[in-house]
Structure 1
């Protein structure tokens, strides 16, 4: 499975397609929307040219959220071709607080084919950024420019999400090594080894302890074949008592993992527990609801618990 719908809201704002708005000649107030810039299939206009038009047309000094869609018109190209264009104009965006890189759906490019690069410069260039979402972790056809992040300190980042069919272990370890004193929400779509998800359970240890994430209140360790093992670790993880939201969704969670959750430390303090896309029996789903009556539990997208071929929600 993969992603087949573009986002319609980001950072609490509706998303405006700059290409469509340009064609219609109708532009909302700069600060009232999250602006999406992208390149359509077989388009002769480059991402750099659309970005320049965006700078000329919109009062970008007021823009608070930007969504970057497909930056290539035909065959996938590395993000390293488009990202410098955005970073070069950073001084024009004093109000920017949120950036989504890679709002690309299956019909445009499989998530595992989205060619990314080192995104450290994003956090270095935008010190006031509060939310960053990165989709894709692939490399180019020569094996270059795989998603990477160098450990750094960022004072303002509150929400960070990596969406991948396979999140590289080096990225997971780098996130753990970063210093994010304000980070409240962290979501990692861990994915599978076949698509580059070579992370290990040991790599998740720093997130389970929460020692270096003093403000963390929502943790998502999602989209994993080893979701049962993650659930077993969560059952006694030191970070859990201070969380208000927990997501173990999108993976191959079975009754074994859910039982570990119920037999571990209390979860009644949670506001939300997201387990959607799971392999739980109806009996276990009832046990969860009965044990956690005050928690908003998402048990949607139930798969067949008797299916021996269990898959994550997003891989290729």
Structure 2
């Protein structure tokens, strides 16, 4: 079993995480009797002592603890991709190092996969207790929106924390795209998946590195990656205003023929022009988002650069 653990400035949590997970393995000898486990930590360009913590663990447990260290911060999605590409286990788990993903679920997750009825055991929070109400509101709104406009259904409150078979991991690795939204990719590849629920857990140490703005941008990335509906909206809005403009031209011509050159309505005309201009910029912004994604994909740059590996 390979445990993939992406980290960014998580120095205070790493030793706590390692000791907690090791205790879970030690307390469940029956479930893990025939299972060798390895840790694959991914240092996503941290600027604290995260890498040193990895080195210490690797020296103390060279057969169990491995790590990758990026040359700079490439983002969590790059960390997940790197972990999946370097994991060697028949079962592969993705976990957060802050213990908001309870390791105590691992025995049940493994037993469920070994039964042969599922290819993936995911996790989801029963509630969002302890989270700011505004963040919970926008989270619910995001899931409601993306599940309405995307063919790939994403489970609300689902975590990246999951245990997968090698077959599912290999299928994920066949998707080489640069722009990644893992929750969507996990569901896009299919496979039989079940979910375990757990109560929201506080961080073991440190503070979250996700700001509201980062989460908002991440949600935009997800919508662009898994839905073409925004482009269709832009097309519909553009077509609608083109149709209305034709009607407006006809009205102006008829008015000229019947009533002469009557000048008036400058305020309404300026307002209408500003409104249409705003709509045009809005639609161009949507199109620009998709073009930007295409631009990044066509460069074929690597998702990450590894500077150190053990």
Same fold (TM over 0.5): no
Richer in helix (by share) = 2
Structure number with higher relative contact order (C-alpha < 8 Å, ≥ 6 residues apart): 2
Query: Which TM-score band applies after superposition, normalised by the shorter structure?
Result: under 0.3
Q: Which has the larger radius of gyration?
A: 2
Using the size of structure 2 for normalisation, the TM-score is: 0.27
